[in-house]
């Protein structure tokens, strides 16, 4: 009997340690906001220090106020897009298509404005 109880406890312990991957919004990617509106179907993107391009996806809402919590909790809610602005962010991959097709589609989970702006060399 003790063996059965021990086995059940061991199985439960193993299952509890197999939690799904937790989201840790650490804002650990440093990037610059870039204005790609001159390209067909593009808007503002984030370009990190290695040159990787990220296309942030915003949640859209059609309706009358008040806005749902999912919209106001979005890190991009109220964010001012300015070409050259330095930011740090973290993300989850977005499963969807892009008209712009210049970078990886992402859902931003953490966003910090680093304040300093850098001039676009283009």
Convert the pLDDT of each residue in 79-97 to its tens digit. 999 999 999 999 999 998 8
Give the chain's residues under pLDDT 70: 1-25, 116-122
Contacts of residues 46-52 at CB distance under 8 Å and 24 or more positions apart, as own/partner, are: 46/87, 46/89, 52/103, 52/104
Domain 21-117 has CATH 2.40.50.500: yes
d(CA 45, CA 103): 8
Secondary structure letter of residue 78 according to DSSP: T
Its pTM stands at 0.71
Where do the structural domains in the chain lie, given as residue ranges? 21-117
């Amino acid at each position: 009997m003790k063996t059965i109880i021990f086995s059940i406890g061991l199985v439960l312990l193993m299952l509890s340690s197999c939690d799904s991957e937790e989201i840790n919004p650490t804002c650990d990617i440093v990037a610059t906001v870039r204005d790609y509106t001159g390209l067909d179907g593009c808007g503002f993107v984030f370009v990190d220090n290695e040159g990787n391009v990220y296309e942030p996806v915003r949640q859209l809402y059609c309706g009358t106020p008040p806005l749902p919590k999912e919209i106001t909790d979005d890190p991009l809610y109220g964010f001012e897009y300015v070409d050259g602005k330095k930011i740090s962010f973290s993300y989850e991959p977005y499963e969807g298509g892009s008209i712009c097709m210049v970078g990886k589609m992402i859902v931003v989970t953490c966003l910090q404005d680093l304040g300093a702006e850098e001039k676009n060399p283009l």
